[in-house]
Amino acid sequence: MFAGKNSILLLLLTYSLHLLLTTSFAANSANDKILYDIYPFIRVYRNGTIQRFIGQGFLPATTDPRTGVQSKDISIVKELNISARIYLPKNANPGYKIPLLVYYHGGGFFTESAFSPNYHHHLNSLVARANIIAVSVNYRLAPEHPLPIAFQDSWLALKWVFHHSSGNGGEPWLTKYADFGRVYLGGDSAGGTLAHHMAIRVGMEKSDPGVKVNGMFLNCPYFWGKRLVGNESADANARKSLEALWLHAYPNTTGLDDPLVNPGMDPGLKMLGCKRVLVYVAGNDGLRFRGWYYMQVLKKSGWNGIVKVVEVQGENHVFSVINPTTPKAIAMLKVLAFFLNQ
């Protein structure tokens, strides 16, 4: 009987060891199949399979029961799948033109869309509070469409919006309600990067005399560079993830000092095509130092405008989009609404 127990124990031990080795081998084998993994954004496998972990939800355009804001989806460049969602406030009057916001969503260039629940709710709230019309741009995502495609899509969408300033565009909400003398650009995270570069192109090209971009707001903008600023060296894992986002979204980039991600390396920075910039950063966000850095390099560039940075303590990256009902998020919304009506 005693020998039988030892045999059973030995059998269990052998099986456990086999299971451990098999599991370990399977895990290593699975890891070998992963090309890169940038959690919580995306995982890409060597066979081309793509997993996105956030931003895959969809809400239809409708009349929002909470705010009364109307929304509808439009195609901008059908063959390139560039589209947008337009928002109109409840009490819009065709005889009274209101400010126009062109907004670019975040998501690290890999995830989210103009139709994601977070952005749909965010734009409904902002449009209602500020009494503006908004165009939320839906650009193509990496890695299927690597950068700089998102920048190109964003510019095509902006030019499409500006075309309506003559009154001849095909979207009646823009021709009837938008005041093209009071245009604003905005975006969060990677969308802030896009909004910034749209403002640069506006300033450099000056091709739309009927349009005036009054200002731009950036919510926790995604900028980076080889030289670390602030306390960015404190969290090595966060730093690696932030760098990986850029390098994998833009395989042909010149690197972390590419002017598209590092405004301090952009010789065209002084051409920023608006006179007021409002930047929000979050106290718990690893990107907060880049917001302050952006203000410094913008001031030194020779740009003739006013830039302000607001740091919200105790909050995380794009907190006002992810958790819009907190007191600090509501306070931020009020500031943005005021900014968009100055």
- Asked, for residue 57, whether it belongs to a domain, the answer is no
Mean pLDDT over each residue of the chain, to the nearest integer: 92
Catalytic position from the list 188, 189, 196, 266: 189
Tell whether 180 and 303 lie within a shared domain: yes
Domain assignment present for residue 251? The answer is yes
Is 317 among the residues known to form the active site? yes
Q: Do both 119 and 195 map to the same domain?
A: yes
Domains of the chain: total: 2
Is 189 considered catalytic here? yes
Q: Could you give the CA distance from residue 216 to residue 199 in angstroms, rounded to a whole number?
A: 8
Q: Tens of pLDDT along 117-171?
A: 999 999 999 999 999 999 999 999 999 999 999 999 999 999 999 999 998 899 9
**Mean pLDDT along residues 206-233:** 95
Dig out the tokens for 233 from the structure.
Answer: 């060296």
CATH (domain of 236): 3.40.50.1820
- Reduce the DSSP state of residue 21 to 3 states and report it: helix
Collapsed DSSP state (helix, strand, coil) of residue 326: coil
Spot the catalytic one: 153, 208, 258, 285: 285
- Confidence band (pLDDT; 50, 70, 90) for 207? confident
- Tell me what pLDDT residue 168 has: 86
- Tell me the pLDDT tens digit for each residue of 19-49: 333 333 344 445 669 999 999 999 999 999 9
d(CA 222, CA 105): 12
Domain boundary among 26, 52, 78: 52
pLDDT digits (tens, 9 = 90+) for 68-93: 999 999 999 999 999 999 999 999 99
Instruction: Check residue 30 and give its pLDDT.
Output: 57
Domain that holds residue 6: 2-52
Please tell me whether residues 20 and 142 are part of one structural domain.
Answer: no
Which one of 71, 248, 317, 320 is the catalytic residue?
317
Mean local confidence (pLDDT), 12-23: 38
Average pLDDT for residues 312-325, to the nearest whole number? 97
Domain assignment of residue 60, yes or no: no
Rg (CA), the chain: 24
Q: Is 73 helix (H, G, I), strand (E, B) or coil?
A: strand
Question: Model's pTM, two decimal places?
Answer: 0.91
